């Protein structure tokens, strides 16, 4: 049976009514991101009619207490503000289910509750489970769900799971998690969320590359000198995040997932179609083509790790990484990492991708810059001042999302002198309307069964394979490269500059 | 125009100096960013419209960076003249950067109204699409050499004295093989969230099962929004596969005094009676109700409310939800329409049925 009124109405896969069950329902992610995202979808008229939300967590709470807590935070953080009349109706869709994650009876009761909701909804039993708890509970939750039969499709109704990162801490743990997840849910029903892929500019990478005829012909080693992917954060370990971060580090926290995902979008071949697997097949080929830095010597030559020492950020004095709250004073966890990544494909042969991520850098910025080769110096190279450098195409992911292109222009005057000028496109200037939050888009996609913007199992494992070599060289080798230092508020360690200088490159000034 | 109204349009400049004066405007303020994604023409044959259209442009440029071209015609003026003004609408983007959009206003009087194309369109930003918001009735100025320049034409048929004639005129433009113009009628835009709401309610399997048994439709709208009501009905009929042409049933309804009644045949062969009722006090589109034996799907909007109430009521199964309502003011509808873009292919699909309903009274 289909709904004829849906035909031609909106140009996206149609999300279906479902019950969203959030494990870890009392956590920050649920309060600050997930529930506000669902509320904003309702405000925009995008939330399918009949969506219910069940929060699953260990603390004792009534439905009313739970809803009140969500309301308080929604008032603070909701993108579209907080409308009492709408919230009043929205809160009625929310209920709270108390249970330990290991308690089989709690899942049985959850199943009964979901069945009752399905009956109220006229028998439509689509279910979307969201694992927003701490990752150590994923095993228990998934096993208990399987035992309670919550993973089963009923007739045409689906049962899907969204898994929040981290997808493991290394390759074996990722494989273990994937095995557990896929023992409960088929891969086609598994949605590994990487909120970077839900960002407007990340989605725009494919549009920029494949919907504009001028870029694809020059998107290769013949014209591109290097690619830089930078994620800079000015924050340190505020709010007690040192406890988590010190066990993770920049490489595992950001590079393995977000930054390698961005890299794959830049480096992938054109997909045969825009289907989820069409796109992800091409992305995984990029991961498989990453040259492995699988000896300590290769890691030392291609990767730099660092920790910040005391310095100044935005004029404020800040302490060093090892002095941060909940960080081991002798920690060997990197707060900064720069990696020279080589993608061994015909297209990218010899083109380095420099990926860096650091805490306590001068400002917050995530961007991808494509550095084109310089023109031959035959015409202008001999002029005073020479050529001011090659063209650079920059895709700003956050903040100030947009695209700029650096081109060379003649300075006005009677003599022939050249300077770089920038053509700049800002989303905020051209499109006044704010973009939906990444979680809004991704939740809707999961309800619609569109997994394009979610990571597939093989992508995750291939990314871990690359990262694990580096981690092993750092932590299990006697020839481990040293932990470098940089002053908080600087652009990272000198060794990271030297990493590029050794290949005739330099970091782009952000 | 009063002096105050003229001042609101900015600096009056000779038509042949517009480009130079615009340059000076930008040179005077280095702190602002000039952004433009389209040429947006706001056209009216009311000579007093420039002031209100400048307000509309101010609002529209908050979300849609454009070069705004305000055009007012005074066709009855005895003397031929063209006056022009320039200004910029500036807004803080996300509370930070000042982003500005240029506005060029033109008042064409007397015989100079014939110089619309070569005067006004000489000042479009190059390489950007032309969105043309035609306010009021289509006049003789709407002709081939004009509409072939337009990428997106926005009209509001709710204000037309003779919508049949207006749509026939548009048909000519749309069937012109060399014309790629996309047509957007604000009357259709007014039904957008109603259509989304109806579709959302029919996602429910219980409602879907009842669709084949639908036997009545009721729409309540303001009399001024007859075209919206009929477009809504045409959309229901087109999407559900209801057939028009049951003349006997229709004659019976009309004989019983129902002026805006329509009879359809469902895919299953059942008869469906649709009644459109007018209520001055209602929202522009107040109620859309679809009935099958035992089941009712309804979408309502209380006058002045910002939200639609969606309701599905079947035995033992009631679903209610709220959703956003369509905007009321024309400029907000234009803003919504610009956000959605597209080729408006659904409207093209519904148009034949709509024309049939429109002409049947």
CATH number for B212: 3.30.360
Q: Check residue A488 and give its pLDDT.
A: 94
Of B93, B319, B345, the CB nearest to A432: B93
- Which of B186, B201, B216 lies at the terminal end of a domain, its last residue? B186
Nearest one of B322, B349, B320, B347 to B207, comparing CA atoms: B320
Q: Check whether residue B244 and residue B308 sit in a common domain.
A: yes
Of A9, A11, A431, the CB nearest to B196: A9
CA–CA min distance A93, chain B (Å) = 10
Report yes or no: B322 and B210 within 8 Å, Cβ to Cβ: no
Is A49 close to B321, i.e. CB distance below 8 A? yes
Residue B340 resides in a domain: no
Q: Which portions of chain A are predicted below pLDDT 70?
A: 1, 11, 123, 432-433
Q: Check whether residue B112 and residue B207 sit in a common domain.
A: no
**Interior angle at CA A262, CA A259 and CA A264, nearest 5:** 110
Tokens of B200: 């959302």
Is B195 close to A3, i.e. CB distance below 8 A? no
Q: Which portions of chain B are predicted below pLDDT 50?
A: none
Q: Check whether residue B178 and residue B198 sit in a common domain.
A: no
Q: Check whether residue B31 and residue B131 sit in a common domain.
A: yes
Cβ-based contacts of B35 with chain A (< 8 Å): 426, 429-430
Q: Check residue B230 and give its pLDDT.
A: 96
Q: Check whether residue B232 and residue B83 sit in a common domain.
A: no
- Which of B171, B186, B201 lies at the terminal end of a domain, its last residue? B186
Q: Check residue A333 and give its pLDDT.
A: 96
Same fold, A4-164 and A197-366+437-501: no
Q: Check whether residue B139 and residue B249 sit in a common domain.
A: no
A258 is catalytic: yes
Residue B167 resides in a domain: yes
Report yes or no: B340 and B182 within 8 Å, Cβ to Cβ: no
Q: Check whether residue B165 and residue B254 sit in a common domain.
A: no
Report yes or no: A451 and A188 within 8 Å, Cβ to Cβ: yes
At A271-292, the pLDDT tens digits run 999 899 999 999 999 999 999 9
Q: Check residue A394 and give its pLDDT.
A: 95
Q: Check whether residue B165 and residue B205 sit in a common domain.
A: no
Tokens of A224: 């591109």
Q: Check residue B248 and give its pLDDT.
A: 62
Predicted-complex ipTM score: 0.86
Tokens of B293: 């034996």
Count of domains forming chain B? 2
Residue B339 resides in a domain: no
Report yes or no: B110 and B46 within 8 Å, Cβ to Cβ: no
What residues make up the domain containing B75?
3-186
Of B94, B96, B195, the CB nearest to A9: B195
Residue B341 resides in a domain: no
Is B62 close to A48, i.e. CB distance below 8 A? no
Q: Check residue B177 and give its pLDDT.
A: 59
Is B62 close to A429, i.e. CB distance below 8 A? no
The number of beta carbons lying within 10 Å of the beta carbon of residue A85 is 11
- Which of B186, B203, B220 lies at the terminal end of a domain, its last residue? B186
At B148-198, the pLDDT tens digits run 889 999 999 998 999 999 999 998 888 875 667 899 999 999 999 999 999
Report yes or no: A179 and A190 within 8 Å, Cβ to Cβ: no
CA–CA min distance A189, chain B (Å) = 21
Q: Check residue A56 and give its pLDDT.
A: 96
Q: Check whether residue B179 and residue B123 sit in a common domain.
A: yes
Q: Check whether residue B18 and residue B81 sit in a common domain.
A: yes
Residue B337 resides in a domain: no
Q: Check whether residue B270 and residue B321 sit in a common domain.
A: yes
Q: String of b and e for A360-396 (b: at least 16 CB within 10 Å)?
A: bbbeebbbbbbbbeeeeeeebeeeeeebeebbbbbbb
The domains of chain A are located at 4-164, 197-366+437-501
- CATH number for the segment(s) A197-366+437-501: 3.30.360.10
Q: Check residue A114 and give its pLDDT.
A: 93
Tokens of B204: 């429910």
Q: Check residue A425 and give its pLDDT.
A: 83
Q: Check whether residue B197 and residue B69 sit in a common domain.
A: no
- CATH number for the segment(s) A4-164: 3.40.50.720
C-alpha distance from residue B134 to each of A271, A310, B150, B266, B333 (Å): 42, 63, 11, 37, 13
Is A429 close to B209, i.e. CB distance below 8 A? no
Distance CA B70, CA B102 (A): 11
């Amino acid at each position: 049976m289909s709904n004829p009124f849906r035909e031609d109405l909106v140009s996206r896969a149609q999300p279906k009514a479902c019950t969203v069950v959030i494990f870890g329902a009392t956590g920050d992610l649920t309060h600050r991101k997930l529930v506000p995202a669902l509320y904003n979808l309702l405000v925009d008229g995008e939330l399918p009619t009949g969506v219910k939300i069940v929060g699953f967590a260990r603390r004792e709470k009534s439905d009313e207490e739970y809803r009140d807590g969500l309301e308080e935070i929604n008032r603070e953080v909701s993108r579209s503000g907080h409308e009492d009349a709408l919230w009043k109706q929205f809160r009625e869709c929310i209920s709270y289910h108390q249970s330990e994650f290991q308690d089989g009876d709690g899942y049985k009761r959850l199943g009964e509750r979901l069945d009752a909701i399905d009956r109220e909804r006229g028998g439509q039993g689509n279910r979307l489970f969201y694992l927003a708890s701490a990752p150590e509970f994923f095993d228990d939750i998934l096993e208990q769900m399987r035992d309670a039969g919550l993973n089963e499709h009923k007739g045409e109704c689906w049962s899907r799971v969204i898994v929040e990162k981290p997808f493991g801490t290394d390759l074996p743990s990722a494989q273990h998690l994937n095995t557990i997840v896929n023992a409960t849910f088929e891969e086609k029903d598994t949605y590994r969320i990487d909120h970077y892929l839900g960002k407007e500019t990340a989605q725009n990478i494919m549009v920029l590359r494949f919907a504009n005829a001028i870029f694809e012909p020059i998107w290769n080693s013949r014209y591109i000198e290097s690619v830089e992917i930078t994620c800079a954060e000015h924050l340190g370990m505020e709010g007690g995040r040192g406890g988590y971060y010190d066990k993770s580090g920049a490489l595992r926290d950001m590079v393995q997932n977000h930054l390698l995902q961005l890299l794959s979008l830049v480096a992938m071949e054109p997909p045969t179609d825009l289907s989820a697997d069409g796109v992800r097949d091409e992305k995984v080929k990029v991961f498989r083509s990453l040259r492995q830095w699988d000896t300590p010597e290769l890691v030392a030559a291609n990767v730099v790790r660092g920790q910040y020492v005391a310095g100044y950020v935005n004029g404020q004095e800040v302490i060093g990484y090892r002095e941060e709250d909940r960080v081991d004073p002798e920690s060997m966890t990197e707060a900064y990492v720069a990696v020279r990544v080589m993608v061994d494909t015909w297209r990218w042969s010899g083109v380095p991708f420099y990926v860096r991520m650091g805490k306590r850098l001068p400002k917050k910025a995530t961007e991808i810059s494509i550095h084109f080769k310089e023109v031959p110096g035959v015409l202008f190279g001999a002029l005073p001042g020479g050529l001011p450098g090659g063209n650079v195409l920059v895709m700003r992911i956050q903040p100030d999302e947009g695209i700029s292109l650096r081109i060379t222009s003649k300075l006005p005057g009677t003599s022939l002198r050249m300077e770089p000028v920038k053509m700049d496109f800002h989303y905020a200037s051209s499109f006044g309307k704010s973009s939906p939050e990444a979680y809004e888009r991704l939740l809707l996609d999961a309800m619609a069964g569109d997994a394009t913007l979610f990571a597939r199992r093989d992508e995750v494992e291939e990314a871990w394979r690359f990262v694990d070599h580096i981690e092993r060289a750092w932590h299990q080798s006697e020839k481990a490269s040293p932990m470098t230092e940089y002053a908080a508020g600087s652009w990272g360690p000198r060794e990271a500059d030297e990493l590029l200088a050794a290949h005739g490159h330099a970091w782009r000034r952000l | 125009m009063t002096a105050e109204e003229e001042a609101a349009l900015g600096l009056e400049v000779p038509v042949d100096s517009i480009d130079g004066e615009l340059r000076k405007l930008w040179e005077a303020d280095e702190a602002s960013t000039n952004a433009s994604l389209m040429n947006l023409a706001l056209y009216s044959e009311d000579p007093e419209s420039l002031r209100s259209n400048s307000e509309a442009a101010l609002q529209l440029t908050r979300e849609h960076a454009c070069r705004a071209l305000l055009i007012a015609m005074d066709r009855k003026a005895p003397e031929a003249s063209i006056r022009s003004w320039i200004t910029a609408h500036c807004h803080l983007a996300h509370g930070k950067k000042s982003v500005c959009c240029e506005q060029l206003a033109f008042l064409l009087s007397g015989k100079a109204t014939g110089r619309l194309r070569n005067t006004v369109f000489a000042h479009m930003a190059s390489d950007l699409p032309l969105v043309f918001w035609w306010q009021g009735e289509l006049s003789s100025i709407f002709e081939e050499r004009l509409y072939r320049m337009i990428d997106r034409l926005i009209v509001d048929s709710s204000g037309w004295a003779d919508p049949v004639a207006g749509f026939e005129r548009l048909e000519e433009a749309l069937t012109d093989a060399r014309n790629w113009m996309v047509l957007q009628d604000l009357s259709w835009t007014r039904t957008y969230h109603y259509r989304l709401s109806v579709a959302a309610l029919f996602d429910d399997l219980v409602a879907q099962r009842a669709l084949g048994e639908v036997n009545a439709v009721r729409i309540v709208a303001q009399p001024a929004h007859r075209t919206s009501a009929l477009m809504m009905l045409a959309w229901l009929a087109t999407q559900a596969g209801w057939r028009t042409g049951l003349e006997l049933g229709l004659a019976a309804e009309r004989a019983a005094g129902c002026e805006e009644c329509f009879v359809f045949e469902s895919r299953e062969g059942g008869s469906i009676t649709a009644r459109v009722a007018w209520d001055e006090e209602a929202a522009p589109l107040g109620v859309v109700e679809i009935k099958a034996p035992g089941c009712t799907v309804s979408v309502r909007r209380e006058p002045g409310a910002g939200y639609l109430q969606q309701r599905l009521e079947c035995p033992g199964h009631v679903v209610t939800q709220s959703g956003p309502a369509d905007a009321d003011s024309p400029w907000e509808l234009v803003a919504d329409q610009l956000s959605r873009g597209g080729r408006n292919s659904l409207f093209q699909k519904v148009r034949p049925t709509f024309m049939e309903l429109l002409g049947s009274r």
